Amino acid sequence: MSALELVRVRARAKQMEAKARSVVRRYIPHDPTTRQALFLSLPHQEAFYGGAAGGGKSDALLMGALEHVDKPNYAALLLRRTFQDLSKPKALLDRAREWLQGSGARWNDQKKQWRFPSGALLAFGYLEGDDDIYQYQSAEYQFIGFDELTQFSERQYTYLFSRLRRLSGSDVPLRMRSASNPGGIGAAWVYERFIPDDWQPEDAVEICKYEKNGRAFVPARLEDNPHLDQATYEESLDKLDEVTRAQLRKGDWRIRAQGNIYKAWTDGPDSHHVITWSQFESVFRVRRIPSDWLGSNGQDWGFDPDPAATVWNFVAGENSPIIHGVKLAGSIFVPAILTCKGEIPDHVGDKIKAIEDEHGWGSRIQYRVMSHEASSQRETYRIKCGLNFQKWKPDAHGGIAQMQHVIRIRHKDKPHPFKPWLMGRPDFYVIVPDDQMVNPKGDEGLALLRAEFREYRYVEPNVTERKGSSNIVPYDFFNHYMDAQRGIAARWFASVRPMTEAEKIDSELPEGWRLENKPNVAEGDWAFEGWVMAREAEIAKIKRRFEQKNPAHGNAWKPQSPLDQMGQRWGGKWGDE
Protein backbone atom coordinates (compact mmCIF):
# COMPACT_ATOMS: atom_id res chain seq x y z
CA MET A 1 0.00 0.00 0.00
CA SER A 2 1.39 3.39 -0.96
CA ALA A 3 1.90 6.05 1.65
CA LEU A 4 -0.88 8.11 0.14
CA GLU A 5 -3.27 5.16 0.21
CA LEU A 6 -2.33 4.51 3.80
CA VAL A 7 -3.17 8.09 4.75
CA ARG A 8 -6.50 7.75 2.97
CA VAL A 9 -7.35 4.48 4.70
CA ARG A 10 -6.48 5.95 8.06
CA ALA A 11 -8.59 9.03 7.40
CA ARG A 12 -11.47 6.84 6.36
CA ALA A 13 -11.08 4.70 9.43
CA LYS A 14 -11.14 7.84 11.55
CA GLN A 15 -14.29 9.04 9.82
CA MET A 16 -15.98 5.73 10.40
CA GLU A 17 -14.87 5.67 13.97
CA ALA A 18 -16.22 9.17 14.55
CA LYS A 19 -19.49 8.20 12.93
CA ALA A 20 -19.76 5.08 15.01
CA ARG A 21 -18.95 7.05 18.06
CA SER A 22 -21.66 9.55 17.37
CA VAL A 23 -24.15 6.69 17.10
CA VAL A 24 -22.99 5.38 20.44
CA ARG A 25 -22.76 8.93 21.77
CA ARG A 26 -26.54 9.00 21.76
CA TYR A 27 -26.47 6.52 24.60
CA ILE A 28 -23.56 7.85 26.66
CA PRO A 29 -24.30 11.32 27.99
CA HIS A 30 -21.02 11.65 29.94
CA ASP A 31 -17.57 12.48 28.67
CA PRO A 32 -15.14 10.12 30.34
CA THR A 33 -12.62 11.65 32.71
CA THR A 34 -8.97 10.99 31.86
CA ARG A 35 -8.83 8.00 34.16
CA GLN A 36 -12.10 6.59 32.88
CA ALA A 37 -10.79 7.02 29.33
CA LEU A 38 -7.66 5.10 30.27
CA PHE A 39 -9.77 2.27 31.72
CA LEU A 40 -11.98 2.23 28.62
CA SER A 41 -9.04 2.09 26.23
CA LEU A 42 -7.30 -0.92 27.79
CA PRO A 43 -6.65 -3.74 25.31
CA HIS A 44 -6.52 -6.40 28.08
CA GLN A 45 -9.20 -9.03 28.22
CA GLU A 46 -9.38 -8.60 31.98
CA ALA A 47 -9.24 -5.24 33.72
CA PHE A 48 -10.14 -3.91 37.13
CA TYR A 49 -10.94 -0.35 38.16
CA GLY A 50 -10.55 -0.16 41.89
CA GLY A 51 -10.23 2.20 44.75
CA ALA A 52 -11.70 5.33 46.21
CA ALA A 53 -15.45 5.77 46.39
CA GLY A 54 -17.04 8.21 44.02
CA GLY A 55 -14.22 8.13 41.50
CA GLY A 56 -16.57 7.26 38.66
CA LYS A 57 -16.06 3.51 38.49
CA SER A 58 -19.67 2.47 37.99
CA ASP A 59 -20.09 5.14 35.35
CA ALA A 60 -17.05 3.78 33.52
CA LEU A 61 -18.47 0.25 33.54
CA LEU A 62 -21.72 1.45 32.02
CA MET A 63 -19.83 3.44 29.38
CA GLY A 64 -17.74 0.40 28.55
CA ALA A 65 -20.77 -1.83 28.23
CA LEU A 66 -22.40 0.63 25.83
CA GLU A 67 -19.34 1.13 23.65
CA HIS A 68 -20.34 -1.31 20.91
CA VAL A 69 -24.12 -1.25 21.03
CA ASP A 70 -24.23 -0.07 17.42
CA LYS A 71 -23.08 -3.56 16.34
CA PRO A 72 -25.78 -6.13 15.66
CA ASN A 73 -25.55 -9.20 17.93
CA TYR A 74 -23.33 -7.42 20.43
CA ALA A 75 -24.28 -8.34 23.97
CA ALA A 76 -23.09 -6.92 27.27
CA LEU A 77 -23.87 -7.99 30.84
CA LEU A 78 -23.58 -5.88 33.97
CA LEU A 79 -23.67 -7.63 37.33
CA ARG A 80 -24.13 -6.80 40.98
CA ARG A 81 -24.17 -9.33 43.78
CA THR A 82 -27.89 -8.95 44.56
CA PHE A 83 -30.89 -7.67 42.73
CA GLN A 84 -31.41 -5.04 45.48
CA ASP A 85 -27.90 -3.71 44.86
CA LEU A 86 -28.66 -3.42 41.20
CA SER A 87 -31.94 -1.60 41.59
CA LYS A 88 -31.15 0.94 44.32
CA PRO A 89 -31.64 4.57 43.29
CA LYS A 90 -28.59 5.85 41.37
CA ALA A 91 -27.28 2.31 41.01
CA LEU A 92 -26.67 0.71 37.63
CA LEU A 93 -30.27 0.04 36.57
CA ASP A 94 -31.40 3.51 37.52
CA ARG A 95 -28.45 5.15 35.82
CA ALA A 96 -28.94 3.15 32.62
CA ARG A 97 -32.59 4.21 32.59
CA GLU A 98 -31.56 7.87 32.86
CA TRP A 99 -29.09 7.47 30.04
CA LEU A 100 -31.14 5.35 27.67
CA GLN A 101 -34.69 6.60 28.05
CA GLY A 102 -35.77 8.23 24.80
CA SER A 103 -32.61 7.08 22.99
CA GLY A 104 -34.37 4.55 20.79
CA ALA A 105 -33.26 1.60 22.95
CA ARG A 106 -36.13 -0.47 24.41
CA TRP A 107 -36.36 -1.80 27.96
CA ASN A 108 -37.64 -5.29 28.71
CA ASP A 109 -38.51 -5.29 32.38
CA GLN A 110 -39.00 -9.02 32.65
CA LYS A 111 -35.62 -9.86 31.19
CA LYS A 112 -33.97 -6.77 32.69
CA GLN A 113 -32.36 -5.84 29.42
CA TRP A 114 -32.12 -3.03 26.90
CA ARG A 115 -32.43 -3.85 23.21
CA PHE A 116 -30.85 -1.37 20.80
CA PRO A 117 -32.00 -0.54 17.28
CA SER A 118 -28.93 -2.39 15.95
CA GLY A 119 -30.17 -5.55 17.68
CA ALA A 120 -27.47 -5.26 20.35
CA LEU A 121 -28.29 -6.07 23.95
CA LEU A 122 -27.38 -4.73 27.39
CA ALA A 123 -28.47 -7.10 30.13
CA PHE A 124 -28.39 -6.68 33.91
CA GLY A 125 -27.99 -9.52 36.33
CA TYR A 126 -27.06 -10.57 39.82
CA LEU A 127 -25.38 -13.57 41.41
CA GLU A 128 -26.80 -13.90 44.85
CA GLY A 129 -26.00 -17.52 45.59
CA ASP A 130 -23.22 -19.55 44.04
CA ASP A 131 -25.82 -21.42 42.00
CA ASP A 132 -27.10 -18.30 40.27
CA ILE A 133 -24.21 -18.62 37.85
CA TYR A 134 -26.22 -21.29 36.05
CA GLN A 135 -28.75 -18.64 35.00
CA TYR A 136 -26.10 -17.56 32.54
CA GLN A 137 -25.25 -21.06 31.37
CA SER A 138 -26.31 -20.64 27.77
CA ALA A 139 -25.70 -16.94 27.26
CA GLU A 140 -22.84 -15.29 25.39
CA TYR A 141 -21.45 -11.82 25.91
CA GLN A 142 -18.59 -9.75 24.58
CA PHE A 143 -18.56 -7.49 27.61
CA ILE A 144 -19.12 -8.63 31.18
CA GLY A 145 -18.90 -6.02 33.91
CA PHE A 146 -18.90 -6.76 37.65
CA ASP A 147 -19.66 -3.76 39.83
CA GLU A 148 -18.46 -3.94 43.46
CA LEU A 149 -16.42 -7.01 42.59
CA THR A 150 -15.33 -7.65 46.18
CA GLN A 151 -18.87 -8.71 47.01
CA PHE A 152 -18.57 -11.70 44.69
CA SER A 153 -16.77 -14.97 45.18
CA GLU A 154 -13.88 -15.78 42.90
CA ARG A 155 -15.75 -18.84 41.66
CA GLN A 156 -18.63 -16.69 40.46
CA TYR A 157 -16.23 -14.37 38.72
CA THR A 158 -14.18 -17.01 36.97
CA TYR A 159 -17.22 -19.01 35.93
CA LEU A 160 -18.48 -16.08 33.89
CA PHE A 161 -15.35 -16.28 31.72
CA SER A 162 -16.98 -19.22 30.03
CA ARG A 163 -19.76 -16.84 28.92
CA LEU A 164 -17.34 -14.49 27.20
CA ARG A 165 -17.54 -15.41 23.49
CA ARG A 166 -16.44 -13.70 20.33
CA LEU A 167 -18.99 -12.78 17.65
CA SER A 168 -18.15 -14.50 14.41
CA GLY A 169 -16.87 -12.08 11.78
CA SER A 170 -16.68 -9.18 14.17
CA ASP A 171 -13.80 -7.22 15.63
CA VAL A 172 -15.54 -6.43 18.88
CA PRO A 173 -13.04 -7.25 21.62
CA LEU A 174 -13.86 -9.60 24.47
CA ARG A 175 -13.76 -7.72 27.73
CA MET A 176 -14.08 -8.78 31.34
CA ARG A 177 -14.31 -5.57 33.33
CA SER A 178 -14.83 -4.96 37.00
CA ALA A 179 -14.88 -2.15 39.52
CA SER A 180 -14.84 -2.03 43.29
CA ASN A 181 -14.05 -0.23 46.48
CA PRO A 182 -11.64 -1.99 48.77
CA GLY A 183 -13.19 -4.05 51.55
CA GLY A 184 -15.97 -6.58 51.28
CA ILE A 185 -15.86 -10.32 51.62
CA GLY A 186 -13.93 -10.83 48.39
CA ALA A 187 -11.25 -8.23 49.09
CA ALA A 188 -8.53 -10.82 49.54
CA TRP A 189 -8.97 -12.63 46.24
CA VAL A 190 -9.50 -9.40 44.31
CA TYR A 191 -6.33 -8.01 45.81
CA GLU A 192 -4.46 -11.21 44.96
CA ARG A 193 -5.72 -11.18 41.41
CA PHE A 194 -5.19 -7.58 40.37
CA ILE A 195 -3.13 -5.46 42.72
CA PRO A 196 0.64 -5.65 42.29
CA ASP A 197 2.43 -6.55 45.52
CA ASP A 198 4.44 -3.37 45.69
CA TRP A 199 1.56 -1.06 44.88
CA GLN A 200 0.91 1.74 47.40
CA PRO A 201 -2.22 3.91 47.62
CA GLU A 202 -0.01 6.96 47.09
CA ASP A 203 0.79 5.58 43.62
CA ALA A 204 -2.78 6.32 42.60
CA VAL A 205 -1.96 10.01 42.10
CA GLU A 206 -0.41 9.27 38.74
CA ILE A 207 -2.89 8.34 36.03
CA CYS A 208 -1.61 5.05 34.71
CA LYS A 209 -2.39 1.37 34.60
CA TYR A 210 -0.68 -1.45 36.46
CA GLU A 211 -0.35 -5.04 35.36
CA LYS A 212 -0.32 -8.33 37.19
CA ASN A 213 -0.22 -11.66 35.35
CA GLY A 214 -1.53 -10.06 32.18
CA ARG A 215 -4.41 -8.36 33.97
CA ALA A 216 -4.78 -4.60 34.15
CA PHE A 217 -5.54 -2.52 37.22
CA VAL A 218 -6.46 1.17 37.16
CA PRO A 219 -6.60 2.81 40.59
CA ALA A 220 -9.50 5.15 41.22
CA ARG A 221 -9.33 8.38 43.17
CA LEU A 222 -12.05 10.64 44.45
CA GLU A 223 -10.17 13.63 43.02
CA ASP A 224 -10.53 12.19 39.51
CA ASN A 225 -14.19 12.95 39.46
CA PRO A 226 -14.98 16.62 39.11
CA HIS A 227 -18.65 15.75 38.79
CA LEU A 228 -19.06 14.86 42.41
CA ASP A 229 -19.39 17.41 45.17
CA GLN A 230 -16.20 16.42 46.98
CA ALA A 231 -16.81 18.39 50.15
CA THR A 232 -20.15 16.72 50.80
CA TYR A 233 -18.65 13.39 49.96
CA GLU A 234 -15.73 13.76 52.34
CA GLU A 235 -18.08 14.86 55.05
CA SER A 236 -20.07 11.68 54.70
CA LEU A 237 -16.89 9.60 54.69
CA ASP A 238 -15.77 11.20 57.93
CA LYS A 239 -18.68 9.53 59.67
CA LEU A 240 -17.38 6.06 58.85
CA ASP A 241 -15.01 4.02 60.95
CA GLU A 242 -11.36 4.59 60.29
CA VAL A 243 -10.72 1.53 58.22
CA THR A 244 -13.68 1.91 55.94
CA ARG A 245 -12.74 5.54 55.62
CA ALA A 246 -9.16 4.78 54.65
CA GLN A 247 -10.43 2.25 52.17
CA LEU A 248 -13.05 4.39 50.55
CA ARG A 249 -11.26 7.70 50.74
CA LYS A 250 -7.79 6.67 49.74
CA GLY A 251 -8.57 3.48 47.95
CA ASP A 252 -6.24 1.66 50.32
CA TRP A 253 -6.19 -2.00 49.38
CA ARG A 254 -3.39 -3.15 51.61
CA ILE A 255 -5.27 -2.62 54.79
CA ARG A 256 -7.63 -5.47 53.94
CA ALA A 257 -5.22 -7.99 52.76
CA GLN A 258 -2.73 -8.32 55.54
CA GLY A 259 -4.41 -10.11 58.39
CA ASN A 260 -2.01 -12.78 59.58
CA ILE A 261 -3.00 -13.48 63.16
CA TYR A 262 -6.38 -15.16 62.72
CA LYS A 263 -5.70 -16.86 59.42
CA ALA A 264 -8.46 -19.38 59.97
CA TRP A 265 -11.08 -16.61 60.17
CA THR A 266 -13.68 -16.61 57.37
CA ASP A 267 -16.49 -14.25 56.43
CA GLY A 268 -19.37 -14.18 53.97
CA PRO A 269 -22.19 -16.60 53.15
CA ASP A 270 -19.82 -19.56 53.14
CA SER A 271 -18.04 -18.52 56.31
CA HIS A 272 -17.55 -21.03 59.08
CA HIS A 273 -17.54 -18.27 61.69
CA VAL A 274 -20.26 -15.81 60.69
CA ILE A 275 -23.81 -17.18 60.90
CA THR A 276 -27.23 -15.55 60.57
CA TRP A 277 -29.91 -15.50 63.24
CA SER A 278 -32.03 -17.74 61.01
CA GLN A 279 -29.23 -20.30 60.90
CA PHE A 280 -28.86 -19.97 64.66
CA GLU A 281 -32.59 -20.47 65.10
CA SER A 282 -32.60 -23.56 62.92
CA VAL A 283 -30.40 -25.26 65.52
CA PHE A 284 -31.34 -23.67 68.86
CA ARG A 285 -35.05 -23.09 68.08
CA VAL A 286 -34.85 -19.51 69.37
CA ARG A 287 -33.81 -16.29 67.73
CA ARG A 288 -31.92 -14.96 70.73
CA ILE A 289 -29.23 -16.11 73.13
CA PRO A 290 -30.96 -18.84 75.22
CA SER A 291 -31.71 -17.63 78.72
CA ASP A 292 -29.49 -20.18 80.49
CA TRP A 293 -26.24 -19.26 78.73
CA LEU A 294 -23.52 -17.42 80.62
CA GLY A 295 -21.70 -14.48 79.14
CA SER A 296 -18.80 -12.12 79.31
CA ASN A 297 -18.40 -8.51 78.32
CA GLY A 298 -15.14 -7.00 77.08
CA GLN A 299 -14.23 -3.45 76.29
CA ASP A 300 -11.34 -1.58 74.78
CA TRP A 301 -11.77 1.95 76.04
CA GLY A 302 -11.37 4.83 73.60
CA PHE A 303 -12.75 8.31 73.16
CA ASP A 304 -11.65 10.01 69.98
CA PRO A 305 -10.35 9.18 67.44
CA ASP A 306 -10.29 5.65 68.90
CA PRO A 307 -13.71 4.18 69.60
CA ALA A 308 -14.82 2.54 72.83
CA ALA A 309 -15.32 -0.99 71.51
CA THR A 310 -17.56 -3.28 73.55
CA VAL A 311 -18.24 -6.91 72.72
CA TRP A 312 -20.40 -9.63 74.27
CA ASN A 313 -19.58 -13.36 74.26
CA PHE A 314 -21.87 -16.17 75.40
CA VAL A 315 -21.06 -19.81 75.87
CA ALA A 316 -23.56 -22.41 74.69
CA GLY A 317 -25.18 -24.18 77.63
CA GLU A 318 -24.84 -27.79 78.67
CA ASN A 319 -28.19 -28.79 77.13
CA SER A 320 -27.23 -27.52 73.65
CA PRO A 321 -27.92 -29.95 70.83
CA ILE A 322 -25.41 -32.47 69.59
CA ILE A 323 -25.07 -31.97 65.86
CA HIS A 324 -23.48 -34.68 63.71
CA GLY A 325 -22.18 -36.31 66.84
CA VAL A 326 -20.41 -33.23 68.20
CA LYS A 327 -21.63 -31.20 71.17
CA LEU A 328 -22.34 -27.54 70.66
CA ALA A 329 -22.16 -26.97 74.41
CA GLY A 330 -19.12 -24.87 75.19
CA SER A 331 -18.99 -23.10 71.84
CA ILE A 332 -18.72 -19.31 72.03
CA PHE A 333 -21.24 -16.97 70.36
CA VAL A 334 -21.01 -13.22 69.78
CA PRO A 335 -24.48 -11.68 69.44
CA ALA A 336 -23.63 -7.97 69.69
CA ILE A 337 -21.04 -5.23 69.71
CA LEU A 338 -21.27 -1.57 70.65
CA THR A 339 -19.06 1.07 69.06
CA CYS A 340 -19.05 4.52 70.67
CA LYS A 341 -16.96 7.41 69.52
CA GLY A 342 -16.36 10.67 71.37
CA GLU A 343 -18.70 9.65 74.17
CA ILE A 344 -18.08 9.99 77.88
CA PRO A 345 -18.08 6.80 79.99
CA ASP A 346 -21.47 7.62 81.57
CA HIS A 347 -23.11 7.48 78.17
CA VAL A 348 -21.27 4.38 77.05
CA GLY A 349 -22.21 2.71 80.33
CA ASP A 350 -25.87 3.63 79.83
CA LYS A 351 -25.79 2.14 76.35
CA ILE A 352 -24.21 -1.08 77.61
CA LYS A 353 -26.92 -1.38 80.21
CA ALA A 354 -29.67 -0.59 77.71
CA ILE A 355 -28.49 -3.40 75.46
CA GLU A 356 -28.25 -5.86 78.35
CA ASP A 357 -31.68 -4.85 79.68
CA GLU A 358 -33.25 -5.23 76.28
CA HIS A 359 -32.00 -8.81 75.98
CA GLY A 360 -32.09 -9.72 79.66
CA TRP A 361 -28.36 -10.42 79.70
CA GLY A 362 -27.31 -8.34 82.71
CA SER A 363 -27.57 -11.03 85.39
CA ARG A 364 -25.82 -13.61 83.25
CA ILE A 365 -22.63 -11.67 82.61
CA GLN A 366 -20.05 -13.52 84.67
CA TYR A 367 -17.11 -11.36 83.89
CA ARG A 368 -16.42 -7.88 82.54
CA VAL A 369 -12.97 -6.98 81.39
CA MET A 370 -11.43 -3.78 80.14
CA SER A 371 -8.29 -4.02 78.14
CA HIS A 372 -6.70 -0.79 79.31
CA GLU A 373 -5.53 0.84 82.47
CA ALA A 374 -8.46 3.27 82.00
CA SER A 375 -9.03 3.42 85.77
CA SER A 376 -11.22 6.52 85.84
CA GLN A 377 -13.55 5.01 83.25
CA ARG A 378 -13.76 1.84 85.29
CA GLU A 379 -14.66 3.88 88.35
CA THR A 380 -17.40 5.71 86.49
CA TYR A 381 -18.84 2.47 85.17
CA ARG A 382 -18.80 0.99 88.65
CA ILE A 383 -20.22 3.91 90.58
CA LYS A 384 -22.65 5.42 88.10
CA CYS A 385 -23.74 2.38 86.14
CA GLY A 386 -23.12 -0.53 88.45
CA LEU A 387 -20.91 -2.21 85.84
CA ASN A 388 -17.93 -3.87 87.39
CA PHE A 389 -15.07 -4.10 84.93
CA GLN A 390 -11.87 -5.92 85.76
CA LYS A 391 -8.62 -4.52 84.54
CA TRP A 392 -6.61 -6.45 82.04
CA LYS A 393 -3.39 -5.06 80.69
CA PRO A 394 -2.96 -6.59 77.30
CA ASP A 395 0.57 -7.69 76.66
CA ALA A 396 1.52 -8.27 73.06
CA HIS A 397 0.04 -11.73 72.78
CA GLY A 398 -2.33 -12.34 75.69
CA GLY A 399 -5.48 -14.12 74.61
CA ILE A 400 -4.36 -14.63 71.02
CA ALA A 401 -3.58 -18.32 71.41
CA GLN A 402 -6.98 -18.88 73.03
CA MET A 403 -8.69 -17.05 70.17
CA GLN A 404 -6.77 -19.04 67.57
CA HIS A 405 -7.78 -22.17 69.36
CA VAL A 406 -11.52 -21.44 69.19
CA ILE A 407 -11.37 -20.08 65.64
CA ARG A 408 -9.62 -23.15 64.28
CA ILE A 409 -11.81 -25.34 62.09
CA ARG A 410 -12.03 -28.87 63.46
CA HIS A 411 -14.16 -31.96 62.82
CA LYS A 412 -13.52 -31.53 59.12
CA ASP A 413 -15.18 -34.85 58.34
CA LYS A 414 -18.53 -33.61 59.67
CA PRO A 415 -20.92 -30.99 58.31
CA HIS A 416 -21.01 -27.53 59.88
CA PRO A 417 -23.85 -27.33 62.42
CA PHE A 418 -25.39 -24.17 60.94
CA LYS A 419 -24.38 -24.50 57.27
CA PRO A 420 -24.60 -28.17 56.36
CA TRP A 421 -23.04 -27.54 52.95
CA LEU A 422 -19.72 -26.78 54.66
CA MET A 423 -17.45 -29.29 56.36
CA GLY A 424 -15.87 -28.63 59.73
CA ARG A 425 -16.67 -26.16 62.46
CA PRO A 426 -14.96 -23.72 64.80
CA ASP A 427 -15.83 -23.18 68.47
CA PHE A 428 -16.49 -19.48 67.92
CA TYR A 429 -19.36 -17.93 65.98
CA VAL A 430 -20.59 -14.39 65.44
CA ILE A 431 -24.30 -13.98 64.72
CA VAL A 432 -25.73 -11.31 62.41
CA PRO A 433 -29.17 -10.45 61.02
CA ASP A 434 -29.88 -12.25 57.76
CA ASP A 435 -29.44 -9.13 55.63
CA GLN A 436 -26.07 -8.30 57.19
CA MET A 437 -24.16 -11.36 56.02
CA VAL A 438 -22.81 -9.71 52.89
CA ASN A 439 -21.62 -6.13 53.10
CA PRO A 440 -22.38 -5.55 56.80
CA LYS A 441 -23.21 -2.09 58.06
CA GLY A 442 -22.36 -0.76 61.48
CA ASP A 443 -22.86 -2.54 64.78
CA GLU A 444 -25.93 -4.35 63.57
CA GLY A 445 -23.82 -6.36 61.12
CA LEU A 446 -20.90 -6.54 63.62
CA ALA A 447 -19.01 -4.80 60.83
CA LEU A 448 -15.98 -3.50 62.66
CA LEU A 449 -15.45 -6.69 64.66
CA ARG A 450 -15.57 -8.78 61.50
CA ALA A 451 -13.26 -6.45 59.62
CA GLU A 452 -10.78 -6.54 62.48
CA PHE A 453 -10.78 -10.32 62.60
CA ARG A 454 -9.98 -10.38 58.92
CA GLU A 455 -7.22 -7.84 59.11
CA TYR A 456 -5.64 -8.24 62.51
CA ARG A 457 -1.99 -8.68 61.87
CA TYR A 458 1.52 -8.67 63.17
CA VAL A 459 3.67 -5.75 62.21
CA GLU A 460 6.47 -6.88 59.97
CA PRO A 461 9.63 -5.65 61.62
CA ASN A 462 12.22 -4.57 59.12
CA VAL A 463 14.96 -7.00 58.50
CA THR A 464 17.68 -5.28 60.50
CA GLU A 465 15.48 -5.25 63.57
CA ARG A 466 14.88 -8.94 63.37
CA LYS A 467 16.50 -10.69 66.25
CA GLY A 468 14.15 -13.57 66.63
CA SER A 469 10.44 -13.13 66.83
CA SER A 470 9.97 -11.23 70.04
CA ASN A 471 9.34 -7.89 68.40
CA ILE A 472 6.59 -9.05 66.09
CA VAL A 473 3.58 -7.50 67.77
CA PRO A 474 0.03 -6.85 66.61
CA TYR A 475 -0.33 -3.77 64.46
CA ASP A 476 -1.49 -0.99 66.70
CA PHE A 477 -4.14 0.64 64.61
CA PHE A 478 -7.06 -1.48 63.79
CA ASN A 479 -7.38 -3.58 66.87
CA HIS A 480 -10.01 -2.17 69.23
CA TYR A 481 -12.33 -5.14 69.07
CA MET A 482 -9.41 -7.50 68.91
CA ASP A 483 -8.14 -6.18 72.25
CA ALA A 484 -11.60 -6.32 73.81
CA GLN A 485 -12.01 -9.88 72.57
CA ARG A 486 -8.54 -10.89 73.73
CA GLY A 487 -9.35 -9.72 77.23
CA ILE A 488 -12.34 -12.04 77.32
CA ALA A 489 -10.36 -14.91 75.82
CA ALA A 490 -7.40 -14.51 78.16
CA ARG A 491 -9.45 -14.31 81.34
CA TRP A 492 -12.75 -16.03 80.75
CA PHE A 493 -12.38 -18.78 78.15
CA ALA A 494 -11.95 -22.17 79.72
CA SER A 495 -8.32 -22.48 80.67
CA VAL A 496 -6.36 -25.43 79.45
CA ARG A 497 -2.89 -26.06 80.71
CA PRO A 498 -0.52 -26.28 77.77
CA MET A 499 1.19 -29.63 77.34
CA THR A 500 4.90 -29.75 77.97
CA GLU A 501 7.21 -30.81 75.16
CA ALA A 502 7.63 -34.24 76.78
CA GLU A 503 3.87 -34.69 77.19
CA LYS A 504 3.33 -33.80 73.56
CA ILE A 505 5.82 -36.37 72.39
CA ASP A 506 4.32 -38.92 74.73
CA SER A 507 0.83 -38.32 73.37
CA GLU A 508 2.08 -38.96 69.83
CA LEU A 509 3.55 -42.35 70.67
CA PRO A 510 1.77 -45.63 69.94
CA GLU A 511 -0.06 -46.61 73.10
CA GLY A 512 2.34 -49.30 74.25
CA TRP A 513 5.28 -46.87 74.38
CA ARG A 514 3.58 -44.16 76.44
CA LEU A 515 4.80 -43.53 79.98
CA GLU A 516 1.45 -44.52 81.40
CA ASN A 517 2.04 -48.01 79.99
CA LYS A 518 5.54 -48.48 81.30
CA PRO A 519 6.16 -52.23 81.97
CA ASN A 520 5.71 -53.11 85.56
CA VAL A 521 9.25 -54.37 86.16
CA ALA A 522 12.23 -52.95 87.94
CA GLU A 523 14.43 -50.41 86.13
CA GLY A 524 17.59 -52.17 84.97
CA ASP A 525 15.65 -55.32 84.16
CA TRP A 526 16.29 -56.43 80.56
CA ALA A 527 12.56 -56.09 79.77
CA PHE A 528 12.58 -52.50 81.00
CA GLU A 529 15.74 -51.62 79.01
CA GLY A 530 14.17 -53.12 75.90
CA TRP A 531 11.05 -51.06 76.40
CA VAL A 532 13.12 -47.86 76.85
CA MET A 533 15.11 -48.54 73.67
CA ALA A 534 12.05 -49.22 71.59
CA ARG A 535 10.35 -46.14 73.02
CA GLU A 536 13.36 -43.97 72.16
CA ALA A 537 13.37 -45.27 68.61
CA GLU A 538 9.70 -44.27 68.32
CA ILE A 539 10.43 -40.82 69.74
CA ALA A 540 13.23 -40.30 67.23
CA LYS A 541 10.79 -41.19 64.43
CA ILE A 542 8.25 -38.65 65.68
CA LYS A 543 10.87 -35.93 65.97
CA ARG A 544 12.06 -36.59 62.43
CA ARG A 545 8.50 -36.49 61.14
CA PHE A 546 7.85 -33.27 62.99
CA GLU A 547 11.02 -31.62 61.71
CA GLN A 548 10.16 -32.56 58.13
CA LYS A 549 6.78 -30.91 58.52
CA ASN A 550 8.16 -27.86 60.30
CA PRO A 551 11.54 -27.13 58.77
CA ALA A 552 11.88 -23.90 60.78
CA HIS A 553 11.57 -25.66 64.10
CA GLY A 554 14.68 -25.36 66.16
CA ASN A 555 16.36 -22.98 63.78
CA ALA A 556 16.98 -19.85 65.76
CA TRP A 557 17.96 -17.94 62.64
CA LYS A 558 14.65 -18.35 60.97
CA PRO A 559 12.18 -16.30 62.97
CA GLN A 560 8.73 -17.71 63.42
CA SER A 561 5.74 -15.61 64.24
CA PRO A 562 4.71 -15.91 67.86
CA LEU A 563 1.56 -17.33 66.42
CA ASP A 564 3.29 -20.45 65.15
CA GLN A 565 5.01 -21.06 68.42
CA MET A 566 1.89 -20.54 70.43
CA GLY A 567 -0.19 -22.74 68.26
CA GLN A 568 2.19 -25.53 69.17
CA ARG A 569 2.50 -24.69 72.79
CA TRP A 570 -1.19 -24.29 73.25
CA GLY A 571 -2.33 -27.82 73.49
CA GLY A 572 -2.82 -28.60 69.82
CA LYS A 573 -1.22 -31.70 68.37
CA TRP A 574 1.62 -31.26 65.96
CA GLY A 575 0.80 -30.89 62.36
CA ASP A 576 -2.99 -30.67 62.62
CA GLU A 577 -3.13 -26.95 61.78
Ligand X SMILES: Nc1ncnc2c1ncn2[C@@H]1O[C@H](COP(=O)(O)OP(=O)(O)OP(=O)(O)O)[C@@H](O)[C@H]1O
Residues that bind ligand X (CB under 6 A): 30-33, 36, 53-59, 181, 220, 225, 227-228
Task: Assess 331 for contact with Mg ion (CB under 5 A).
Answer: no
Q: Which of ligand X, Mg ion, none does 56 bind, CB closer than 5 to 8 A by kind?
A: ligand X
Task: Assess 178 for contact with Mg ion (CB under 5 A).
Answer: no
**Closer CB to ligand X, residue 229 or residue 460?**
229
Task: Assess 36 for contact with Mg ion (CB under 5 A).
Answer: no
> How far is residue 263's CA from residue 278's CA, in Å, rounded to a whole number?
26
Q: How many CB atoms lie within 10 A of CB 515?
A: 10
> How far is residue 120's CA from residue 74's CA, in Å, rounded to a whole number?
5
**Closer CB to ligand X, residue 224 or residue 483?**
224
**Closer CB to Mg ion, residue 57 or residue 249?**
57
DSSP label of 456: -
**Segment lying near Mg ion (by CB under 5 A), choices 57-65, 114-122, 162-170, 522-530:** 57-65
Q: Which of Mg ion, ligand X, none does 320 bind, CB closer than 5 to 8 A by kind?
A: none
Give just the sign of the alpha carbon dihedral 337, 348, 352, 394.
positive
The answer to whether the CB of 65 falls within 8 A of the CB of 122 is yes
The answer to whether the CB of 456 falls within 8 A of the CB of 482 is yes
CA quadruple 562, 566, 569, 570: dihedral, nearest 10: 170
Nearest-approach distance from CB 96 to Mg ion, in angstroms: 13
**Closer CB to ligand X, residue 40 or residue 401?**
40
Q: Which of Mg ion, ligand X, none does 225 bind, CB closer than 5 to 8 A by kind?
A: ligand X
Nearest-approach distance from CB 247 to ligand X, in angstroms: 10
Task: Write out the E strands in 22-112.
Answer: 46-51, 75-80, 106-108
**Closer CB to ligand X, residue 36 or residue 479?**
36
Nearest-approach distance from CB 99 to ligand X, in angstroms: 9
Nearest-approach distance from CB 65 to ligand X, in angstroms: 13
Nearest to 322 by CA among 411, 402, 405: 411
Q: Which of Mg ion, ligand X, none does 276 bind, CB closer than 5 to 8 A by kind?
A: none
Nearest-approach distance from CB 82 to ligand X, in angstroms: 15
Give the nearest residue (CB) to Mg ion.
58
The DSSP line for 397-417 is STTHHHHHHHHS-EEEEEE-S
Strand partners, 431: 275
Task: Assess 58 for contact with Mg ion (CB under 5 A).
Answer: yes
Site string for Mg ion, 141-170 (x = CB under 5 A): ------------------------------
- Give buried/exposed letters for 290-316 (b at 16+ CB in 10 A, else e): eeebebbbbbbbbbeeebbbbbbbbbb
**Closer CB to ligand X, residue 226 or residue 524?**
226
Nearest-approach distance from CB 41 to ligand X, in angstroms: 14
Q: Which of Mg ion, ligand X, none does 228 bind, CB closer than 5 to 8 A by kind?
A: ligand X
Q: Which helix (H) or strand (E) element contains residue 327?
A: strand 326-327
According to the 3-state scheme, what is the secondary structure of 303-324? CCCCCEEEEEEEECCCCCCEEC
**Segment lying near Mg ion (by CB under 5 A), choices 44-52, 54-62, 130-138, 218-226:** 54-62
**Closer CB to ligand X, residue 142 or residue 181?**
181
> How far is residue 328's CA from residue 318's CA, in Å, rounded to a whole number?
8
At residue 295, φ and ψ (nearest 5 deg) are -135, 175
Q: Which residues bind Mg ion (CB under 5 A)?
A: 57-58
